[in-house]
Structure 1
Amino acid sequence: MGSLTEEQLLQMVRDFIESESESEPKSESLSTSNALSQDHKPRCLTLQEILRDVTDIEGDILQKTLKYAKSVESTESTSNLKRLVVMKLKMDGYEASLCKTSWVSSADRLQVFPYGSEYEYIDVMTREMNGGKATRIIVDVDFRSQFELAKATTGYKELTDMLPSVFVGSEAKLNKIISMLCSAAKESLKEKGHHIPPWRKASYMQSKWLSEHCKKISIPANLE
Structure 2
Amino acid sequence: MLGSLGEEELDQMIRDYIESDQSTSPTPVSKPAPKKSQSILQDILLEATDIETQLLDKVLMYVRGMGEPNSLKEWVVMRLQVDGYEASLCKTSWVSSFGHKGDYDYIDVMIMDQNLSNKTTRLIVDMDLRSQFELARPTQTYKELINALPSVFVGSEERLDKIISLLCSAAKASLKENDLHIPPWRKAEYMQSKWFSKNCNKVSVMLNPELGSDASEEKNSATCCPSIF
TM-score higher than 0.5: yes
Which of 41, 46, 60 is 1:47 aligned to? 41
Task: State the Cα distance separating 1:103 from its structure 2 match.
Answer: 3.8
Q: Does structure 1 conserve the Cα–Cα contact (< 8 Å) formed by 2:107 and 2:126?
A: yes
Specify which structure has the higher proportion of helix: 1
Which of 187, 192, 207 is 1:201 aligned to? 187
Which runs of structure 2 are paired with 1:90-129 in the superposition (5 Å)? 90-103=81-94, 109=100, 117-129=102-114
Deviations 1:155-214 (A, max 9, x none): 111111000010000000000000000001001001110121111100011000112320
Q: Structure with the greater relative contact order (CA < 8 A, sep ≥ 6): 1 or 2?
A: 1
Q: Which moved more, 1:91-100 or 1:127-136?
A: 127-136
Deviations 1:105-143 (A, max 9, x none): 9xx95xxxxxx8321100001111175221110000111
Which runs of structure 2 are paired with 1:147-166 in the superposition (5 Å)? 147-166=133-152
Helix, strand or coil: the match of 2:105? strand
Q: Look up the match of 2:9.
A: none
Q: Does structure 1 conserve the Cα–Cα contact (< 8 Å) formed by 2:130 and 2:151?
A: yes
Distance 1:71 1:83 in 2: 15
Which of 60, 69, 79 is 1:66 aligned to? 60
AA matched with 2:144: E
Q: How many residues align?
A: 175
Helix, strand or coil: the match of 1:53? coil
Give the percent of matched residue pairs that are identical in Structure 1 and Structure 2: 58
Task: State the Cα distance separating 1:222 from its structure 2 match.
Answer: 7.7
AA matched with 1:60: Q
RMSD of the TM alignment (CA)? 2.2
Distance 1:142 1:197 in 2: 21
Distance 2:157 2:172 in 1: 22
Q: Does structure 2 conserve the Cα–Cα contact (< 8 Å) formed by 1:144 and 1:164?
A: yes
Specify which structure has the higher proportion of strand: 2
